[in-house]
Amino acid sequence: MFEFENTSYFYLLAIVGFFVALFLFGRLRVKLARKKFAQESALQKLIQERSTAKTWLKAGLFLLGLSAVIIALVNPKVGTKTETAKRQGIDIVFALDVSKSMLCEDVAPNRLEKSKQIISQIMNQLGGDRVGLVAYAGSAFPVLPITSDFGVARMFLQSANPTMVSSQGTSLDDAIRISAGYFEEDSKVNKLLILISDGEDHSEGASDAAEEANKIGLKILTIGVGTEQGGPIPLKENGITKSFQRDNAGEVVTTKRNEASLKEIADATNGAYVNGNETKATLEAVKAALDNIEKSDLESKEYTDFNSQFQWFIGLALLLLFIDFFMLERTTAWLKKLNLFNE
């Protein structure tokens, strides 16, 4: 397991790019100056002892040495052993609707971004719990398995968008079944599915899927985003709205929040429905629901005793820069006989 102590030093790699550009520019100027001075055949007689290949080799050694110094500053670390950490918590799967209707802007900035904000802030309230992520539209797609790494979960959450799922629509039943598959039936850990959607279900059987989930002890909390008045679905290019989604008759599609389907799903598992338009009220409702769920003992493997590896890169940098410093740009007699560089 690797980790980096000072990732901000990676920005210094831009200096390496600068020196590469500077070296190439210098070589170009030299080449142009030589052409003005004399023909190439004549120049080769004048500078027989100079090795072009060694000039490139020295530059390469210097740039590699400089890169090694920067990586040493970043200080890569390697985990040397693992320990089993025990904590109290529950397993939570977030099922996020990424259908095109979630791009509607009847809540700011739009339904999808609002849903991401809610999920992220719910994670901020969690302690020893583990989370997973499912994205769905016309079909469901497992994005992230159950994990205790909230940082990774947030990274996958931010990347969720309508292009993740090829078939459009909203299949709540598929989302529930895929989410239920994250949990082991005989597991004693309490399970919770937080399903976020505008409730526009284009499939059948969501209630049946919820009842099946209830049989394995899965409680479903549904969060509805969007307004009952609804709005159009903007089609944007470079962040600018160019038009709106239209149906086969050419009429602008209006998408509305459907609370009834979301309440029906929650009721099937003795869960709860929450209006997600007000973030603060939503977080309070979710916190109350989590407080009423009994926590279980969870175990997870975690790397400990991370050892710094910077010394290897410092040693490599010193070796490369040492060779670069003492390497001359003129040809070496015995290497010239071998003609390794075709000079």
pLDDT tens for each residue of 142-188 = 999 988 889 899 999 999 998 887 777 778 899 999 999 888 766 66
Alpha-helical (H) ranges within the chain are: 13-37, 40-46, 52-74, 111-125, 150-158, 172-180, 206-215, 259-268, 279-291, 310-326, 333-338
Quick check: is 43 in a domain?
A: yes
Q: Of how many residues is the chain composed?
A: 343
Whether residues 280 and 321 share a domain: the answer is no
Question: Does some domain include residue 343?
Answer: no
Looking at the 3D structure of the chain, how many domains does it have? 2
The residues, ordered by sequence, that sit 6+ positions from 101 with a Cβ below 8 Å of its Cβ are 111, 170, 198, 200, 226, 233, 255
Distance CA 271, CA 176 (A): 14
- pLDDT band at residue 1, thresholds of 50, 70 and 90? low
Residues 32 and 101 in one domain: no
Same domain, yes or no: 264 and 282: yes
- Straight-line distance from the first to the last Cα atom of the chain, in angstroms, rounded to the nearest whole number: 46
Same domain, 213 and 185: yes
Pair 196, 94: CB distance under 8 Å? yes
- What pLDDT score does 85 carry? 61
User: Do the domain assignments include residue 80?
Assistant: no
Nearest to 210 by CA among 263, 289, 266: 266
> Lowest-pLDDT range, 43-52, 98-107, 115-124, 286-295?
43-52
Together in a domain, 50 and 107: no
124 with 261, same domain: the answer is yes
> pLDDT digits over 220-241, tens only?
999 999 998 999 999 888 878 8
**Residue keyed to tokens 């100027």:** 29
Check whether residue 8 and residue 115 sit in a common domain: no
**Residues 127, 267 within the same domain:** yes
For residues 208 and 267, is the Cβ–Cβ distance under 8 A? no
The residue that leads in pLDDT, 303 or 261, is: 261
What is the distance between the alpha carbons of residues 308 and 314, in angstroms, rounded to a whole number?
Answer: 12
> Would 328 be classed as within a structural domain?
yes
For residue 286, the domain's CATH number is 3.40.50.410
**Does 11 share its domain with 139?**
no
* 63: Cα separation from own chain's centroid: 30
Max Cα distance, the chain (Å)? 91
81 in any annotated domain: no
One domain for residues 96 and 6? no
| Closest alpha carbon to 131 in 121, 140, 139, 123 | 123
pLDDT, residue 276, reads 92
- 329 occurs within a structural domain: yes
Q: Are 330 and 185 part of one and the same domain?
A: no
Coil, strand or helix at 65? helix
User: What pLDDT was estimated at residue 110?
Assistant: 93
Q: Is residue 218 part of a domain?
A: yes
| Domain region containing 333 | 2-75+309-338
Please say whether the beta carbons of 164 and 143 come within 8 A: yes
Q: Are strands 254-255 and 231-232 parallel, antiparallel or unpaired?
A: antiparallel
Radius of gyration of the chain (CA): 30
Tens of pLDDT, residue by residue over 190-208, are: 889 999 999 887 667 888 8
Asked whether residue 18 is domain-assigned, the answer is yes
| Confidence class for position 41, pLDDT limits 50, 70, 90 | low
Weakest-pLDDT range from 33-42, 65-74, 143-152: 33-42
Q: Are residues 51 and 122 in the same domain?
A: no
Tell me which H or E stretch contains 96: strand 91-97
Note if the pTM is more than 0.85: no
